[in-house]
Amino acid sequence: MLTELTPLFKKPPLYTKTEIPFWDDEHISLQMLNAHLNPNYDGASRKLEFIEKSVDWISKILPSEHYPSVLDIGCGPGLYTERYAKKGYRVVGVDFSHRSINYAQMSAKRKGLPIDYFYQDYLNLSLDKKFDFATMIYCDFGALSTNDRKQLLKIISLDWEHETELKESLKVYFQEQKTVHEAAKKESAKKHFEFRQREADTKEMVTTKKRPNGVPLSEDELKEEKERLAFYKATARDYLLRYKQHEKEEKQFSEYLKLL
Ligand SMILES: C[S@@+](CC[C@H](N)C(=O)[O-])C[C@H]1O[C@@H](n2cnc3c(N)ncnc32)[C@H](O)[C@@H]1O
């Protein structure tokens, strides 16, 4: 027993690949598929709401009228490919899980979506086609070794014919978002101070049990003012949180703009 266990504790050299066909394993692929298809869980794919937003964003940056064909690398059961097809793209998906590819093919057929799926290792991709752009979603690129990343990029061989156009539309989008968050940040700050002022005025009434004109508050009125105070306090806090979130987003889009 000990002789069988001991080798398992030996640390493998860095970037050693598993011998196990991880994505095609009977048990793992079933659990993965369940996780992909759960709209409220982001263990294998992002949550459905995020996927919808991502596809909307992609189709805004790379509209299908100008970039009609897309390759989705590691497409899983087709959560993105189907949405691309509905947005008018010609779509090809590749994945190394039989279970996911089979599911994706059946789902596309059921929905009448003309998507081509291939069971292939994207590190040895052989497709006799050219695409306007490719997506690889959910951190898979980051999980590859340096050599595998280089290999994948060589295979994909980016078509820089669209570089200037793409950068221009990204610039417009990032600038738009920066402006939106800047305006929302200012509005949140205004509202925050407005509610802080209301909170202070109401607190004064609750503490003195009098209106600003000196008229005493009845029991019922005092109770009402206390409730109002709690509401103003919570609303002021909420606007402060919104302010911080918009500030963060504004900074993020400024950083993105610097990258272009
Ligand atoms: C984390 S999942 C993401 C799936 C999909 N992009 C999504 O976000 O819904 C990673 C996917 O990449 C596939 N995959 C992993 N290695 C692959 C390889 N070498 N070739 C093709 N597909 C691969 C897996 O089968 C799995 O479906």
For residue 158, the model assigns a pLDDT of 59
The pair of structure tokens assigned to 61 is 């940056």
Is the CB of 93 within 6 Å of ligand 1?
A: no
pLDDT attached to residue 142: 86
Q: Is the shortest distance between the CB of 76 and ligand 1 below 6 Å?
A: yes
Residue 7 binned pLDDT confidence (cut-offs 50, 70, 90)? confident
Give the pLDDT confidence of 191-250 residue by residue, as tens digits: 999 999 999 999 999 999 999 999 999 999 999 999 999 999 999 999 999 999 999 999
pLDDT for residue 254 is more than 80: yes
Q: Is 123 in the pocket of ligand 1 (CB under 6 A)?
A: yes
Q: Reply yes or no on whether the pLDDT at 159 is more than 70.
A: no
Domain 164-259 has CATH 1.10.287: yes
The pTM for the full model equals: 0.71
Cβ atoms of residues 131 and 69 within 8 Å: yes
Ligand 1 binding pocket includes 77 (Cβ within 6 Å): no
Residue owning the nearest CA to atom 9 of ligand 1:
45
What CA dihedral angle connects 71, 29, 148 and 139, to 10 degrees? 70
Q: How is the chain split into domains, by residue range?
A: 20-161, 164-259
* Residue 27 predicted with pLDDT over 90: yes
pLDDT of 156 > 60? The answer is: yes
Instruction: Kindly indicate whether the domain formed by 20-161 is annotated with CATH number 3.40.50.150.
Output: yes
Q: What is the 3-state secondary structure (H, E, C) of the chain?
A: CHHHHHHHHCCCCCCCCCCCCHHHCHHHHHHHHHHHHCCCCCCCCCCHHHHHHHHHHHHHHCCCCCCCEEEEECCCCCHHHHHHHHCCCEEEEEECCHHHHHHHHHHHHHHCCCEEEEECCHHHCCCCCCCCEEECCCCCCCCCCHHHHHHHHHHHCCCHHHHHHHHHHHHHHHHHHHHHHHHHHHHHHHHHHHHHHHHHHHHHHHHHCECCCCCECCHHHHHHHHHHHHHHHHHHHHHHHHHHHHHHHHHHHHHHHHHC
81-107: average pLDDT = 97
Specify the higher pLDDT residue, 129 or 28. Answer: 28
pLDDT (tens digit per residue) in 37-92: 999 999 899 999 999 999 999 999 899 999 999 999 999 999 999 999 999 999 99
Tell how far the Cα of 229 is from the centroid of ligand 1, in angstroms: 52
* pLDDT tens track for 161-193: 677 877 888 899 899 999 999 999 999 999 999
- CB of 78 within 6 A of ligand 1: the answer is no
